Amino acid sequence: MKIQVTVNGKAHEKDVDPRTLLVHFLREDLGLTGTKVGCDTSQCGACVVNMDGTTVKSCTCLAVQADGSQITTIEGLSPKGELDAVQEAFWNNHGLQCGYCTAGMIMTAVELIDKNPNPTEDQVREGLKGNICRCTGYHNIVKAVLAAAEAKRS
């Protein structure tokens, strides 16, 4: 099937197998490898992207379901090469270790802060519950999201 999507501000028209997952389309067809395949069951959140203003787990979304959509991946979060406030906060607050879950965490945090610019620690923890980090105890991830929210308010 032919699909048309805009990914990170760039229009793409591609033929895809109707069974192709969005995560595989992004990684294999478009070369955007920041979006990770973690579990293939929507449990871990490593594959989170923004589609039409809402985060989705791209490992459980077919590429054909994205036809006509605007998609932002971690690569499109800061297209000019400068870190987004959330990326900067993760860096400054050591909100990552191996980095495998980081793109999904950041994409989730961006939407969380957009919806609630002044979240509490409990709200951040609740907002990130669909993302699993196998390396950290989440303390620095939560700290990073709170710092990013504060930076965006300033």
Alpha helices (H) along the chain: 22-24, 85-92, 102-115, 121-127, 139-153
Fold of 2-76: Ubiquitin-like (UB roll) (3.10.20)
Rounded mean pLDDT of 71-89? 93
pLDDT in tens, 45-68: 999 999 999 999 999 999 999 999
What is 85-153's CATH superfamily?
[2Fe-2S]-binding domain (1.10.150.120)
- % of residues, the chain, pLDDT over 70: 100
The DSSP code for 122 is H
pLDDT of residue 79: 77
Rounded mean pLDDT of 93-110? 95
Q: Whole-model pTM?
A: 0.95
Calculate the average pLDDT of the chain. Answer: 96
Please report, for the chain, the start and end positions of each structural domain, with discontinuous segments joined by +. Answer: 2-76, 85-153
Q: In whole angstroms, how far apart are CA 152 and each of 109, 114, 124?
A: 12, 9, 15
- Based on DSSP, count helices (H) and strands (E) in the chain, helices before strands: 5, 5
pLDDT in tens, 125-150: 999 999 999 988 799 999 999 999 99
Neighbours of 15 (CB within 10 A): 8
**What residues form DSSP beta bridges with 7?**
10, 71
Count of alpha carbons within 13 angstroms of residue 110, beta-carbon side:
25
